[in-house]
Amino acid sequence: MPTLVMKFGGTSVANLDRIRRAAKRIGVEVAKGYDVIVIVSAMAGKTNELVGWVDEISPLYDAREYDAVVSSGENVTAGLMALTLQEMDVPARSWQGWQVPLLTNGAHSSARIQEIPIANLNRKFEQGMKVAVVAGFQGLSPEGRITTLGRGGSDTTAVAFAAAFGAERCDIYTDVDGVYTADPRICSKARKLDRISFEEMLELASLGAKVLQTRSVELAMRYKVKLRVLSSFEEQSDTAGTLVVDEEEIMESNVVSGVAHSRDEAKMTAVSVADRPGIAAIIFTALSDAGVNVDMIVQNISDEGRTDMTFSCPTDQVGRAEKALLAVKDSGALNFSELVADTDVCKVSVVGIGMRSQSGVAAKMFKVLSDEGINIKVITTSEIKISVLVDRKYMELAVQALHDAFELERVA
């Protein structure tokens, strides 16, 4: 039998009525002849509640016990979904991560998947099981402890199962009906894309689009897993949602496919650091060791042997970055006159595989922002994206202006 993976996020299983709705969708695919692997998240809000309990009891918690607690939300959903399917006379059973087993490394709360042996599930499918309901977000460490994959990890679980079982497709059910050219909440002209390439989706996910977790897209691209993003609340059809596929499967590409934004950005500058070999390594090694996710990096032109080093990071990591750099300064390994943090900025990006063969995208983007009176603070580029940091108050204006300038409302 062909295999289909279906993943349901927290809003899709937020209560019993929504679990029943999701179960009916699963039943439709079973009727088509699929063996179905269903990956479920915890009910909406449940993981936050569990994390809050852990923090209240032990702010400096044992990461192994943290994983044991926060993974329990998915276990509840998996059991309820299996019971619902059984009530519909669909042969189903639930599986926790350790039962599959989904094997990970030992990095608690941010574990990486190492292997998914397929023998257990395949044996049950051969014995008549039609649906395996697997708790997402969790796995088993080499020490035999429960691990979790980080927030949004159920997406990664789903793609990993699709790769391991050679699934025909991996359907990600969420509260939006696909991938849009921009966030429709701030750009009324945003349009749903029928198809998008893995590379474009990876850039959009990393730049602030919340539709898919970045790691899940990386995994899908590596193992050529065909993804479909669709809504749990829309009518079911074979053409619903957005397919995330290889670039070769997209006949015609727009120069720009989407505009992404991230409001939770900060710009930090170490003022007047020595301009000599090794300084950048000292700065960014310290930030890496402190777990700071650095994105954009700009170094000013040297003046009398001194320079300014600017970088961006998430706003909730500013304190961590300050502590790390001040510690290095106190040690004598680094000297700077001032450490300036600007937490009132946002990142706006344009993304498109068509940018590889089309010149003038950067010029057009910068002209549009200039015409709107929006000053650019930092710029970074890759082969298929251009990102800028601007004042946060201009975020919506920038997104809308760029969406209009690149005529993304015309995307089918």
Residues 277, 161 share a domain = no
CA distance 250 to 326: 49
Q: Which residue has the tokens 């204006």?
A: 397
From residue 318, give the alpha-carbon distance in Å to each of 9, 267, 284, 313, 339.
30, 9, 14, 7, 11
Residues 8, 154 share a domain = yes
In this predicted structure, the answer to whether residue 247 has a pLDDT above a threshold of 90 is no
Cβ atoms 171, 7 nearer than 8 A: yes
For residue 139, being part of any structural domain is answered with yes
Give me the CATH number covering residue 98: 3.40.1160.10
What is the reported pLDDT for 411? 54
For residue 215, being part of any structural domain is answered with no
Q: Has 7 been labeled as part of a binding site? A: yes
- Provide the 10 A C-beta neighbour count for residue 177: 18
Report helix, strand or coil for 102. Answer: coil
Q: Domain boundary residue among 175, 194, 211?
A: 175
Q: How many CA within 13 A on the CB side of residue 209? A: 28
Q: Give the per-residue SS3 of 297-343.
A: EEECCCECCEEEEEEEEEHHHHHHHHHHHHHHHHHCCCCCCEEEEEE
Q: Has 323 been labeled as part of a binding site? A: no
Number of domains the chain contains: 2
* Beta strand 169-174 pairing with 3-8: parallel
Beta strands in 47-108, from DSSP E residues, in sequence order: 92-95, 103-104
Share of residues in the chain with pLDDT > 70 (%) = 98
Q: Two tokens at 268?
A: 């930090």
For residue 55, being part of any structural domain is answered with yes
Q: What is the pLDDT of residues 212-225, one digit of tens each?
A: 888 899 999 999 99
Q: Has 173 been labeled as part of a binding site? A: no
For residue 214, being part of any structural domain is answered with no
Q: Has 367 been labeled as part of a binding site? A: no
CA distance 216 to 153: 8
Q: Which residue has the tokens 């106190």?
A: 330
Q: Domain boundary residue among 153, 175, 197?
A: 175
Q: Has 9 been labeled as part of a binding site? A: yes
Domain range spanning residue 403?
Answer: 259-410
Question: Which H or E element spans position 53?
Answer: helix 46-57
Q: What is the pLDDT of residues 249-290, one digit of tens each?
A: 776 667 899 999 999 899 999 999 999 899 999 999 999 999
Q: Has 388 been labeled as part of a binding site? A: no
Q: Has 394 been labeled as part of a binding site? A: no
Q: What is the pLDDT of residues 133-168, one digit of tens each?
A: 999 999 999 999 999 998 889 999 999 999 999 999
Give me the CATH number covering residue 276: 3.30.2130.10
Q: What is the pLDDT of residues 372-389, one digit of tens each?
A: 999 999 999 988 999 999
In the predicted model, what is the mean pLDDT of residues 297-317?
90
Residues 143, 278 share a domain = no
For residue 220, being part of any structural domain is answered with no
Q: Has 316 been labeled as part of a binding site? A: no
Sorting pLDDT into bands at 50, 70 and 90, what band is 246?
A: confident
Sorting pLDDT into bands at 50, 70 and 90, what band is 60?
A: confident
CA distance 361 to 354: 10
Whether cis (ω within 30° of 0) applies to the bond prior to 277 is no
Residues 151, 270 share a domain = no
Residues 268, 136 share a domain = no
Amino acid sitting at position 174: T
In this predicted structure, the answer to whether residue 125 has a pLDDT above a threshold of 80 is yes
From residue 372, give the alpha-carbon distance in Å to each of 132, 183, 199, 255, 366.
53, 20, 30, 22, 10
Residues 165, 302 share a domain = no
For residue 127, being part of any structural domain is answered with yes
Burial (CB count within 10 angstroms: exposed 0-12, middle 13-18, buried 19+), residue 376: middle
Residues 168, 268 share a domain = no
For residue 391, being part of any structural domain is answered with yes
Q: Has 211 been labeled as part of a binding site? A: yes
Residues 155, 11 share a domain = yes
What is the reported pLDDT for 369? 97
Q: Has 47 been labeled as part of a binding site? A: yes
CA angle 90, 92, 96 (to 5 degrees): 160
For residue 242, being part of any structural domain is answered with no
Q: What is the pLDDT of residues 169-215, one digit of tens each?
A: 999 998 888 888 998 888 989 888 888 898 988 888 777 666 788 88
What is the pTM (predicted TM-score) of this model?
Answer: 0.81
Q: Has 185 been labeled as part of a binding site? A: yes
Q: Domain boundary residue among 175, 196, 221?
A: 175
Q: Has 104 been labeled as part of a binding site? A: no
